[in-house]
A and B are shown apart, each in its own frame.
Chain A
Amino acid sequence: MSSSPDNATELPRRKVFTRLALTIAFFALAAVAGLALLTNILERKSEAKNPFFRVVELTDDTTDPAVWGKNFPLQYDDYMRTVDQVRTRFGGSEALPRTPTDADPRSIVTQSKIEEDPRLKKMWAGYAFSIDFREERGHAYMLEDQRLTERQSVGQPGACLNCHASTYVAHKNAGDGDVVKGFSVVNKMPYAEATQLVEHPVACIDCHDSQTMALRITRPAFMEGIANFKAHQGIENYDVNKDATRQEMRSFVCAQCHVEYYFKGTEKRLTYPWHNGIKAEEILGYYDEVGFKDWTHKETGAPALKAQHPEFELWSQGIHARSGVSCADCHMPYKREGAHKISDHHVRSPMLNVNRACQSCHTVSEKDLLDRVETIQANTWETRERAMDALMHLVDDIKAAMAAGWSDTDLAAARDFQRKAQFLFDFVEAENSVGFHAPQEAVRILSLSIDYSRQGQMTLRPLGARPVTTTAEFAPISLPTPSSE
C-alpha cells in the first residue's frame, strides 16, 4: 500500500522525461537538418559565382594533362574517365582478360573484330589489319593500344603518332619551334623511334590554347587538309585558326583525327584526301587521280585501299551537321557540377548519356531516342551485311577467274571494282557510328559499294558467275543483341 503513491508519482515523471527527450531529439534533428540545408544552399550560391583558381602556371609546353588538371579539376576528372569500357548495342568495347607477356604487358584487351567476322580478314588479305584489329577503347588507351598492336610487326612510320599521342610539343621541339616543320620530321621517322618523343595520349594542349583555353587546331595535317577542301570550294588561303567560327572549332578539333587519311609518298606525310571534296566517292576519286593504293590484295591482286575512320566526313553529310550541331554538342555535352556548368570531357557514346547529349534539343523520352538510333543503326547494319557479302562474292569470282587463267588485262576492271567497292564498304565500316552520323549517306555509300561489287562480277560473266541464291528470297540478317540484354 505504501509504495503505490511513489509509483503514482514516478510513472508520470518517467513519461515526462521520455516526452521531453523526444522533443529535444526532434528539435535537435530539425536544427541539424536546417543547418545541412543552409550549408547546401551556401555551397550552391558560392559555386554559382564560378570562381577559377590558378594553381599552376600553364605554358605552351605543358603537355602533362595532370598539370592542367590542377587548374581545371572538373574537366580533368572527366578526361580521366575515358578509361571506361562500356558496350552499346552496336558499338563500344568489352574488356577481355589477357595473360600479360614481356612484349605486351596488357592484362585487358578488347574483342577482336577480325575473329568476330572473318570476312574482314579476307577483305584485308595481305594487309596489316588482317593480323590484328580490335574494337577501339576510349581516348585514355590510344597510345598504349597503338604501341602494342600486333600491326606494329610490319613496321609503321612516326606519322601514326599524329592521332595517338599528344604530339603538339613533340612536333614543336622536332621543328625547333616550328610545328609544321617538326611534323614533317616526325612523320618519316620509324614508329619505334618517334614514339620515344611522346609521353601522353591526346591531352589538353592538343585542343586548347594554354593561356586563353580557346580551342585551336594543333595538327598540321588538318590545317592543310581543310585548306585544300576550302580551296576546292573556291576559298583560297583558308587559315583554320583564324577563319573558323567557335562552333566549327567544336567539330574541327575532333576532326584533327577522326577522318580518312593516307601517308603521302616516301615522306610519309599524313594527308587528308579532301582535294576534290569530302564525300566518299570524291575521296575515292582523289586516290584514283594520284594513283594511291594502301596495298595489293593478296588473294585477288587488286590495288586496294583501307578506309580509316571518317567520322568527320560522314557527319558532314548528315542532318546534325546541317543543323549546326557540333561533335562536342553530343560527345561532350554541357553538364552540371553543383552550380557549375562545364563541358563534359568524358568523351563517349551519346547513347550512354542520352539526357545531356540528345534531350537538350529533342523533347522525346530517353527510350524513344534510343529506339530511333537503334533503328537507324539496324538499317545500316543490314545494308552493311549485304555489301560485305557482295564484296566476298566478287573476291571469290576474281579468284576463280585467276585460277581459270584470266590475264591481268582481263581482270583489271574487276579488280578496280573491288578496290572501289571495298573502300566504300570500309568507309561506313570503319566509321564509328554504324551510320548514325549521316544515315541516308551511309546507306547511299553502301548501296554504291553493292553496285560496284555486282558490276565487278558482271565483268567476269563469261566465266559463268551466278547469283548465290537461285530465287529472289529474302535472307534475314542477324543483328547484335540490344544493349539492355
Chain B
Amino acid sequence: MTFKTLLFALVGVSSGLAVGVGAYTFVYAQGASYLVNNPASCANCHVMQEHYDGWMKSGHRHVATCNDCHTPHALIPKYLVKAENGFWHSFYFTTGNYPDHIQARPISRSVTEAACRRCHEDITEAIAGHDFMSATAESVSCIKCHREVGHPK
C-alpha cells in the first residue's frame, strides 16, 4: 500500500506540475487572446508586427479585423483554420524555422480571396460571373493586384 501511495503521490505531483506549468504558460503567452477577435493578439509574437502596423494604417481597419480576411466566416471552419494556423505559427516561431518575409500558403490565400469576394460581392460577381465565389479560380485574383489593401506599406 505504501508503494501505491508513493506512486499515487508522484502521479499527482507530476500531473499537477504539468497542468500548472501549462496553465501558467498559457496565461503568460496570452493564450486566451487567440480565442477572440482582437487584432493585437496576432502581433503577440512580434512576427506580425509589421502586418499589424500596416493594418492600423489601412482603410480596412474600420471594417475588418485579421479574422475577417484570414479565417473563413462560418463558425466551425473559422475555428478549424484558427487552430491549424495557430499550431503552425507557434511551431515555427518556437523553432525559429521560418523565412523573414513570410509567405502565405495557397490555402491561406484562398481564404483571403474568398473573404474579398464575400464582402465585395457586388463588384466581384460582375467581374468573375457565376464563378465569383470560387476562391481557387486562377483566372482572376483580387489579392494579386490589391495585395496591399489590408496592409499598406
Contacts and interface: CB of A to CB of B under 8 A. Distances in A.
Interface of A: 16-17, 20, 23-24, 27-28, 30-31, 34-35, 37-38, 40-42, 44, 48, 333-336, 338-339, 355-356, 359-360, 363
B18 A31 contact: yes
A24 B15 CA distance: 8
Nearest to A336: B100
A30 B11 CA distance: 12
Majority secondary structure, A binding face: helix
Given A34-B25, A40-B94, A355 B18 contact: no
B24 to A, nearest CB: 7
A8 B22 CA distance: 39
B17 interface: yes
Contact of B11 (A27, A34, A335, A355): A27
Given A38-B21, A41-B25, A28 B101 contact: no
Interface string B53-95: 0000000000000000000000000000000000000000110
Nearest to A38: B25
Contacts of B21: 31, 34-35, 38
Contact of A37 (B94, B103, B147): B94
- Shortest 5 CB-CB contacts between residues of A and residues of B: A27-B14, A34-B21, A30-B18, A355-B99, A359-B101
B137 interface: no
A30 B14 CA distance: 9
Contacts of B22: 30, 34
Given A41-B25, A48-B46, A355 B14 contact: no
Interface string B105-131: 000000000000000000000000000
Nearest to A20: B7
Contacts of B101: 355-356, 359-360
Contacts of A356: 99-101
Nearest to A362: B101
A383 B29 CA distance: 58
Given A20-B11, A38-B24, A31 B46 contact: no
Contact of A28 (B14, B29, B93): B14
Contact of B45 (A23, A28, A44, A335): A44
Contacts of A24: 7, 10-11, 14
A48 B49 CA distance: 11
A41 B7 contact: no
A333 B101 CA distance: 11
A23 B11 contact: yes
Interface of B: 4, 7, 10-11, 14-15, 17-18, 21-22, 24-25, 28-29, 45-46, 93-94, 96, 99-101, 103, 147
A344 B4 CA distance: 59
20 contacts: A16-B4, A17-B7, A24-B11, A27-B11, A27-B18, A30-B22, A31-B17, A31-B18, A31-B21, A34-B22, A35-B21, A37-B25, A38-B21, A38-B24, A40-B94, A44-B93, A334-B100, A336-B100, A355-B101, A359-B99
Given A17-B7, A31-B18, A44-B45, 15 more contacts: A20-B10, A23-B11, A23-B14, A24-B14, A27-B14, A27-B17, A30-B18, A30-B22, A31-B17, A31-B21, A38-B21, A44-B46, A48-B46, A333-B100, A356-B101
- Among A23, A27, A28, A42, find the residue whose CB has the most chain B CB atoms closer than 10 A: A27
A339 B17 CA distance: 29
A269 to B, nearest CB: 43
Contacts of B99: 355-356, 359
Contacts of B147: 363
Contacts of A23: 11, 14-15
A38 to B, nearest CB: 5
B90 to A, nearest CB: 8
Contacts of A48: 46
Contacts of A35: 21
A8 B10 CA distance: 26
B5 to A, nearest CB: 11
A335 B100 contact: yes
Nearest to B143: A363
Contact of B28 (A27, A41, A338, A355): A41
B14 A31 contact: yes
A339 B44 CA distance: 11
Given A17-B7, A360-B101, A41 B29 contact: yes
A30 B15 CA distance: 8
A356 B46 CA distance: 17
Contacts of A31: 14, 17-18, 21
A38 B94 CA distance: 10
- Among A34, A333, A339, find the residue whose CB has the most chain B CB atoms closer than 10 A: A34
